[in-house]
Amino acid sequence: MSETFESQSSCSSDCGSCSANCSSRQPSKEDFLVPLNPYSKVKKVIGIVSGKGGVGKSFITSYLSVLMNRKGYNTGILDADITGPSIPKAFGIHSKAAGNELGILPAVTKNGIKVMSVNLLLETEDTPVIWRGPVIAGTVKQFWSEVLWEDVDYMFVDMPPGTGDVPLTVFQSLPVDGLIIVTSPQELVSMIVSKAVNMANAMDIPILGLIENYSYIKCGNCGEKISVFGTSHIDEIANKYDLPVLGKVPIDPAIAAAIDGEKVEELKGEWLDLAAETIEIVHKVRENTSVSEKISAADEKAATIKIAVTVDENNDVFQHFGKSDKFNLYEIRGEELISKTTLNSNGSGHSELVTLLTDQKVNVLICGGIGMGAMEGLMDAGILVVPGAKGDADVVTAAYLDGSLAESTEPNCDHHDHNEEACSSECKCHE
C-alpha cells in the first residue's frame, strides 16, 4: 500500500466532495506539540531563554523556581540545556533517575521542587554530551512526555542557549505559556535580545520580560552600584520592544556561593521578586483575594476605586513619597481598568501631597519609602497605603489588584540611605 493511499484513506471526509487542497495545508502550532506524560498535569510552562550561553540562565531558572516554591506552588524544572546541564548541581542533586511503569521519576529537591536533567541519566556527571541536534531535541521531548511530573503548577524550562535549531524544536514541542529573556550587560544586548524577541514572536509565545544578570557590583563599604561592564542598555531595549525589565541582578558572591555550594534553596535576595510576581499574576494558577472583595461585597461590580502610584521617569515606583512629583492614577471599576492618567505635583512635602491625593479622591496609595508622619496623614484622610513597592508601576498595581501586595500601617524606610541596614533609633521614620 502506498504512503499516499494510506494518508488519503485516513481522512474521514469524502474527498470527492471536498474542495480543500490537503497538500497545501499549513501545520498549526498544535501539530508540533508533544503529549505530556498521561499521569501528569502541568498548569503553566515558563521558558527561560538567552541569546547565548554563559549569562547565568541556569541560576535565574533555579532561583525563580525557588521563589515560586516559597510562594507555595508545586514547581518543576525541565533542564532542556542538554549539553550544559547545571540545574542539578545548584540544588545538590547527584542521584540517578529511577522509573516505574508510569514513567521516569524526576529528582526532588529538599523543598520539593521536581527536576529532570540529562545529568540524572548520565553514568557520571562529567560525561560530556556529544549528541547531534535531533537527539538533543528528542531527549527534551522525552523529558516532557515520559517523566512522571504528576501535579506541577509552574514548570520552568531552562532552554538551550541561542536561537538555533535545537531551541526552535524545543519551543515547538512544549506548550510554553511565557518566556523570560536573560541577558547580561557585556553582550551585544540589542542584537541578541532582538533575535530572541523575534524568535518568540515568530513562535507566537508571549514574552514576560527581560532580566539582566551581572548587572552591577555593589560596593561593600558605600553601597554604590558599579557597572563593571559599562553602561547597561537593558532599559532602552526594553522600551524598544515595550517589554518590562523584571530584574537587574548584581554580581554577588552570595549567589556564586549558593550555586557552587549546591544550596540555591537557601539563597536570600529580592532581585527576582518582581519576576516571580509577574509570573504569578500573568499566569495565574490559583485564585487570590481580589481588591474588590476588600472594598465592598455589596456593590462589588459598581464600586470604583482610585489608586495612586508614585512614579519616576521610567514608570517605576518612586521611592521617596515626600519628594514625589508625579503619580500614576488608575481608576478601576470591578475588575476593569477604566482610566490611567498622570497627576503632577511639585513634590513639596508630604502634607501637601496628602491634600492633593485627598482632593483627587484617591482610595489607595502605592509607594516605596514613606515615613510615619505621611502614613498618619494618609490614614486620617481614609487612604489605604501600600508601602515598600518596587518596580514597574503597572505591574505593581496589577499585583495589588490581584491580592499579592497588601496594605500596611507601618512606615517603610527605603527612602533613607541606610546602606541596607535596619532602620536605626536615630531615624525619624517612626515618629
Ligand X SMILES: Nc1ncnc2c1ncn2[C@@H]1O[C@H](COP(=O)(O)OP(=O)(O)OP(=O)(O)O)[C@@H](O)[C@H]1O
Determine the Cα–Cα distance for residues 348 and 325; give it in Å rounded to an integer.
8
User: Which one, 107 or 311, has the nearer CB to ligand X?
Assistant: 107
Stretch that binds ligand X, among 16-24, 53-61, 309-317, 418-426 (CB under 6 A): 53-61
Element holding 10 (H helix, E strand): none
User: Which one, 217 or 379, has the nearer CB to ligand X?
Assistant: 217
Angle at 310 between CA 305 and CA 311, to 5 degrees: 120
User: Which one, 50 or 310, has the nearer CB to ligand X?
Assistant: 50
Q: Which of residues 206-225 bind ligand X (CB under 6 A)?
A: 213-214
Was 55 annotated as part of a binding site?
yes
Q: Which alpha helices (DSSP H) does 242-371 contain, by range?
A: 253-260, 273-282, 291-295, 350-359
Was 428 annotated as part of a binding site?
no
Neighbours of 202 (CB within 10 A): 11
* Residue 206 beta carbon to ligand X: minimum distance, rounded to whole angstroms: 21
DSSP for residue 250: -
Regarding 260 and contact with ligand X (CB under 6 A), the answer is yes
Q: Which member of 47, 161, 167, 373 binds ligand X (CB under 6 A)?
A: 161
Angle at 180 between CA 287 and CA 132, to 5 degrees: 125
Was 52 annotated as part of a binding site?
yes
Regarding 55 and contact with ligand X (CB under 6 A), the answer is yes
Was 361 annotated as part of a binding site?
no
Stretch that binds ligand X, among 37-45, 47-55, 354-362, 400-408 (CB under 6 A): 47-55
Determine the Cα–Cα distance for residues 233 and 212; give it in Å rounded to an integer.
10
Was 2 annotated as part of a binding site?
no
* Residue 82 beta carbon to ligand X: minimum distance, rounded to whole angstroms: 12
Listed residue (419, 417, 368) closest to 391, CA to CA: 368
Q: Which of residues 26-45 bind ligand X (CB under 6 A)?
A: none
Surface-to-core class of residue 409, CB atoms within 10 Å of its CB (0-12 exposed, 13-18 middle, 19+ buried): exposed
Question: How big is the site for ligand X, counted in residues (CB under 6 A)?
Answer: 20
DSSP for residue 161: S
Q: Which member of 136, 259, 386, 401 binds ligand X (CB under 6 A)?
A: 259
Element holding 318 (H helix, E strand): none
Cell of 329: 492614577
User: Which one, 56 or 322, has the nearer CB to ligand X?
Assistant: 56
Q: Which member of 57, 114, 248, 415 binds ligand X (CB under 6 A)?
A: 57
Q: Tell me the C-alpha to C-alpha distance, in Å, between residue 278 and each of 8, 23, 255, 323, 395.
A: 47, 42, 22, 28, 7
* Residue 187 beta carbon to ligand X: minimum distance, rounded to whole angstroms: 11
Q: Are 57 and 182 in contact (CB under 8 A)?
A: yes
Regarding 269 and contact with ligand X (CB under 6 A), the answer is no
* Residue 61 beta carbon to ligand X: minimum distance, rounded to whole angstroms: 8
Listed residue (150, 142, 159, 152) closest to 205, CA to CA: 159
Was 326 annotated as part of a binding site?
no
User: Which one, 86 or 163, has the nearer CB to ligand X?
Assistant: 86
Was 138 annotated as part of a binding site?
no
* Residue 184 beta carbon to ligand X: minimum distance, rounded to whole angstroms: 9
Q: Which member of 54, 99, 134, 223 binds ligand X (CB under 6 A)?
A: 54
> Length of the chain, please?
431
Was 58 annotated as part of a binding site?
yes
* Pairing assessment for the beta strands 41-50 and 178-183 based on DSSP bridges: parallel
Surface-to-core class of residue 424, CB atoms within 10 Å of its CB (0-12 exposed, 13-18 middle, 19+ buried): exposed
The site for ligand X (CB under 6 A) is made up of 50, 53-59, 84, 86, 161, 213-214, 249, 251-252, 255-256, 259-260
Which residue numbers belong to the known binding site for ATP? Answer: 51-58
